[in-house]
Amino acid sequence: MMMKRTANSILILFFLHSFAAVAFNNPGEAPGSQKEAQVLFHLDFDKGFEAEARGRRSPVNSSNRPATTGGIKGKAVSFTPGQVLQYASSGNLQKQEGTIAMWLRLPPGSEGRKGEVYTLFNEDGPENAGSNSLKIELYKDRFIRFSIKDPKDSYIFYHKIEDWQQEWHHVAFTWNIRKGASIYVDGKPASIGWMPQWQPATYNSFFIGAANAKGERASLAAIDEFSIYNRELTEAEAREAFLRFREFTADVTMHDPFVTAASPAQVPVVLANAGQATINLKELRFELTGNSGKVLQQGKLPDQTLKGLEKSKLTIELAANPAGTYQLSLYYKEKGMPKKAQSPVHVLAVAEKAKAQEAKQVLVAEVDAVSQKPVGEFGGTTLIQAPIGAYREAGAKQRDRFAMAFEVEEANEPHLAVISYPDDKPRTMEVLLQDFGNNIDFQAHTGVFTGEEYPLSHNMQEHRIVFWPRSKKQAFIFMTAEPDYPAAVQHIKIYKIQHFKVTDAKNRFSGTVPARSTGLYYEDPVLFHNFGTGRDLAGFTKATDRLLQYMQSFGQTELEYPLAWYAGPLYGTAVEPFQPDIDGAQGGQRPHPDGYPAYLLKRLGEQQIKFTAGLHIHTLPSLNKYALADTALLHTGEETVININKDGKLWYGYWHGADPNYNPADPRVMASVTNIVTELCERYAQEPAFDGISLVMARPKLFTFGSLASGYNDSNLKRFQEEAGLRIPVYKAGDPTRFNKSYTWLMNNPAAKKAWIDWRCKVLYEHYASLGRHMATYRPDLKLKLNVFVHLTHNQRLADYLTEPSVEVMREMGIDPELYKNHPNIVFNYTTVPADMRWKRNNFPPANHEVNRTVMTAPEVVASLKDHEKVRVTIHDRYWEDPIGKEAPLAGLKALGVNEMVWRASTLNAVGYHSMEPYVFALHHLDATSLVKGGYVVGTFGMEEELSQFSRALQAFPAVKFDDVPAVADPVRIRQKVVDGKLYFYVLNTLPEPAQVTINLTHADRLMEPAIGTSTKKTRKVKLSLKPYELRVFTSNKGQQAVAGGDVRLPKEFVNGLRSKLETVQKLAREKGMDKGKLAPYLELAAKTWDNKHYSRLYFLLQEDWAAALLAPGTNPDAASRNNP
């Protein structure tokens, strides 16, 4: 079904994909016939403090009562310090589920201090997590917070209270132990929290208006019509509660107020009616004013009629204006009353495409780590006198660390740190920038791996970090991040960057298809954290500009950044009921100015950097009304969007490492995703930088089933049986155990299990294929990118790739790569995690950690993708998270008045050219056309020079699938393709060793090497000396030219060492009786790769987990030494 675009209305869109005979009750509201909402306790204060109640009606004590005041109707009460109302809980408050609702009027702005905490409601219970003592607090001029006190100590927030003084507003706080909590404000959904089921706890009494019987932290607010219900209210019921005393008015919001100078522009305006009665808006007109208040442009707009629960869109056409910030006002009448909506409009000066230049920088500080003492240390340090030079080394215990201080001349200016450190033993070292101004700063949370899987150079290496110091005094903290892998440093040089390098783009491919690309990726929307700015609009724009400078300095041409995070859209959405209140979303605070993608896209477009919108969704507000959590109703056949797992359990409130909260095959889930994709295309497809949308399919996201343990909802089981023509004999409607019985039967019958997996894959494919086609109606080149992120709990299975095809793990998620292979608008995106072996070894010992290395290096793991026309690869950075700065801060820093960074989230990269390893795997195994890297922080610190060289070559050839040259596939890979009448071929060294290559052409020719702008002599044999992991690309103007074959030579000592290691493994297998059985296929593969001279495959094969199992206890797969031969 294709969705129709309209300029005047925003429709609630549903993709229903042939859901034959699958019906959902009450599609506009919560499914099922829920028990009647009953008032357990009600106070209207008109007749004093006696409640209409199921339990005790009068207050527990007669003292400290509040004064009465004018209410929303009749009387209300107002609380000052020492005043409180205390009532018995029995019969009046039910803890399984319920709603607390009230009309609230905040005090004048002069009363109380900003941020001070006042209490609206509190149970007389303990404060600790897991106590389930409900509390509603008011943080003056900031937010209202509802505390559940579940085992995770969850909170949800509502922030938009800054203009509430002296106005009445209706607020309702709901909870349900099976799924979480929510807040309604003035009859509309306003905030949501989702938590795993908790155990309810009851207490003797509760307080209204203050925190305790003494009246402490009194609310200072007026409260009226206070009610407690026996269950969570639905959206319709919250609307009715509001409509008892007030009526809905139109919500008017201006979107994406970023336009380009000297060009006419459009500003979209969304009009929303949250009520059911029709609203008419008359006499609409707009004015654009400058800083002086002078009206620069004005115009009339047509009257608008908003039907109940409808949204519509207007477009205001603006003439060209000079750069600056203007005020756009929309005037209208509603029921004869004049009203106004306003928004700033930011007219951006056009930035020219940056011209190529070299960096200019000046040395401003130096730190000799040998002679200069640390300003703080834990675990002690040792001065090491080594053949490569003296250096300072931290202790060998995890979290041992030391801080080396320095001072810059100017804060908030770009600087470069060049850190010299020894690559002479295995190290897992974190390097963190510590600001002395006590700012929360994630600019440089970085580090390096050396040794073992990354052979030692026995030289000093350099780690480079770009940063904008927020104060003049700074330090770098060097921490041992893994036991017995100590941090060390020799020297630090600090340069002020006078201007950044801009990489020359003239040699990038330009033709009828796009060029290949490399760039940055973000899982978390924390751009301001990464570039030393604030969270407001000014901070975001500054962070964007700094990001561009950094990316251009080493030639990155793509950015993926979240536009929707765990709890939903961040950009100012019109298709969800509300913008998720991200202070209460899982993972912490992620504030962004509304419309921030518009600024980001314009600035990226000016520099010809393409943008992918990342969707990382766990939950959505629009699905809450369908999230039926009453198991009794589910057992009778009512439907829910909540995922039902293999045990028949409602799987809700989980995140990282768990299956999704929702059933991804439910049409309402699909519709909510479709609405967001549609909105993004509507708003941003016109921007040239907008390249597409990435659905990040990590395990908890709502885009897949996560695993075979999920998706046993009635709608799925019924539809499967009908469409697959296969009956599940144990499935009986109304049987409470039918979900688990169906799972067990399907798993125990191989043919049925395969049919079940096939059906799930087909359902999701049909949805995403339709979504891809839909995106193409906005722009034919837009792509839906399916970022499949297989969770590391599956790595043991993936690593045993000769026993079971690795693709089965993806198929069990509901994603079959084979189905997507030829879809023109879908790009398959595979995620790999290079740091997993060391990270998991450090965080989850003991275990077979080499499996995490195997899934990185083995081409068989991604074999299901090798025939795809285009493959995108995300190199996901594992976060080395640590709260040590909060739990046990460095005493030396504390003595200086410096608070050590409270939370680390560092990205550690392999030393030097080894950092290119995941890029090489992506190109070698998958012929990847696009590669992005990142996570929480900037993921490319320390490897910019290596990545710059690789990117320059990669971007010089087109983003189409190349053909293998079978004779040159390993250890050097050559692929070729004729595009636009020219032959392109690339030569990739797939080993961390130098290689000599002779390339045989079919015709004598003069080849161009576009990445560096040189050419060869005319010849049929091209001889190259390749550095470790080097990529080079060549072109010929002769379309009939081709690479016929070639010859590769490696250093003798490397080949001999490889043979010795193979023989050792084979000998151990025989001696341990492990040369038969499960390991036999891997031993055979190793012997075959040696015979075929596939030295690269053998090199990494002998690092895999099966080889580690053959080695003596206490050693790793690299033989008895901790370093590769």
Taking a C-beta distance cutoff of 8 angstroms, is the pair 400, 483 a contact? Answer: no
The DSSP H or E segment spanning 211 is none
Q: Is the pLDDT assigned to residue 661 strictly greater than 60?
A: yes
Q: Is the pLDDT assigned to residue 593 strictly greater than 90?
A: no
Cα dihedral sign, 470-553-871-798: negative
Q: Residue 86: which pLDDT band, with cuts at 50, 70 and 90?
A: very high
Q: What is the Cα–Cα distance from 634 to 659, expressed in whole angstroms?
A: 20
383-393: average pLDDT: 98
Q: Please state the pTM of the whole predicted model.
A: 0.94
The pLDDT tens digits for 923-944 are 999 999 999 999 999 999 999 9
pLDDT number for residue 34:
67
Q: What share of the chain is helix, strand, coil (3-state, %, to 5)?
A: 20, 35, 45
Largest Cα–Cα separation, the chain: 103
Q: Residue 1113: which pLDDT band, with cuts at 50, 70 and 90?
A: low
The pLDDT tens digits for 470-506 are 999 999 999 999 999 999 999 999 999 999 999 999 9
The DSSP-derived string for 643-696 is EEBTTS-EE-S--TTS--SB-TTSHHHHHHHHHHHHHHHHHHTTSTTEEEEEEE
Q: How far is CA 125 from the centre of its chain?
A: 37
The pLDDT tens digits for 964-993 are 999 999 999 999 999 999 999 999 999 999
Question: Can you tell me whether residue 579 is helix, strand or coil?
Answer: coil
Taking a C-beta distance cutoff of 8 angstroms, is the pair 787, 833 a contact? Answer: no
Taking a C-beta distance cutoff of 8 angstroms, is the pair 420, 404 a contact? Answer: no
Cα dihedral sign, 880-886-890-894: positive
pLDDT number for residue 585:
43
1062-1076: average pLDDT: 93
pLDDT number for residue 13:
35
Question: Can you tell me whether residue 236 is helix, strand or coil?
Answer: helix
- Does residue 846 have a cis bond before it (omega within 30 degrees)? yes
* Percentage of the chain modeled with pLDDT above 70: 95
Q: What is the Cα–Cα distance from 731 to 454, expressed in whole angstroms?
A: 54
Q: What is the Cα–Cα distance from 1066 to 1069, expressed in whole angstroms?
A: 5
Q: Is the pLDDT assigned to residue 114 strictly greater than 80?
A: no
pLDDT number for residue 23:
35
Q: Are strands 376-378 and 401-407 parallel, antiparallel or unpaired?
A: antiparallel
* Percentage of the chain modeled with pLDDT above 90: 87
575-596: average pLDDT: 72
Q: Residue 24: which pLDDT band, with cuts at 50, 70 and 90?
A: very low
Neighbours of 762 (CB within 10 A): 15
pLDDT number for residue 581:
60
Q: Residue 9: which pLDDT band, with cuts at 50, 70 and 90?
A: very low
Give me the domains of the chain, ranges plus CATH numbers. 39-243 (2.60.120.200), 251-348 (2.60.40.10), 360-499 (2.60.120.260), 517-620+664-707+750-879+911-954 (3.20.20.80), 963-1050 (2.60.40.1180), 1054-1110 (no CATH)
pLDDT number for residue 588:
54
Q: Is the pLDDT assigned to residue 1115 strictly greater than 70?
A: no
For 237, half-sphere exposure in the C-beta direction (CA atoms, 13 angstrom radius) is 22
Q: Which amino acid is at 827?
A: V
For 439, half-sphere exposure in the C-beta direction (CA atoms, 13 angstrom radius) is 24
Q: What is the Cα–Cα distance from 797 to 855, expressed in whole angstroms?
A: 9
The pLDDT tens digits for 406-439 are 999 999 999 999 999 999 999 999 999 999 998 8
- Rg of the chain over all Cα atoms, to the nearest angstrom: 31
Question: Can you tell me whether residue 441 is helix, strand or coil?
Answer: coil
Taking a C-beta distance cutoff of 8 angstroms, is the pair 40, 229 a contact? Answer: yes
CA proximity to 805, closest of 819, 814, 816, 792 = 816
The DSSP H or E segment spanning 954 is helix 944-954
Q: How far is CA 329 from CA 27, 211, 299, 332, in A?
A: 37, 43, 11, 10
Q: Residue 1123: which pLDDT band, with cuts at 50, 70 and 90?
A: very low
User: What contacts 24+ positions apart, CB below 8 Å, involve 152-157?
Assistant: 152/195, 152/196, 153/129, 154/180, 154/181, 154/193, 154/195, 155/193, 155/584, 156/181, 156/182, 156/183, 156/191, 156/192, 156/193, 156/581, 156/584, 157/191, 157/581, 157/583, 157/584
Average confidence score pLDDT of the chain: 93
Structure-model confidence comparison of residues 423 and 165, the more confident one = 423
pLDDT number for residue 591:
77
Q: Is the pLDDT assigned to residue 586 strictly greater than 80?
A: no
Q: Is the pLDDT assigned to residue 817 strictly greater than 60?
A: yes
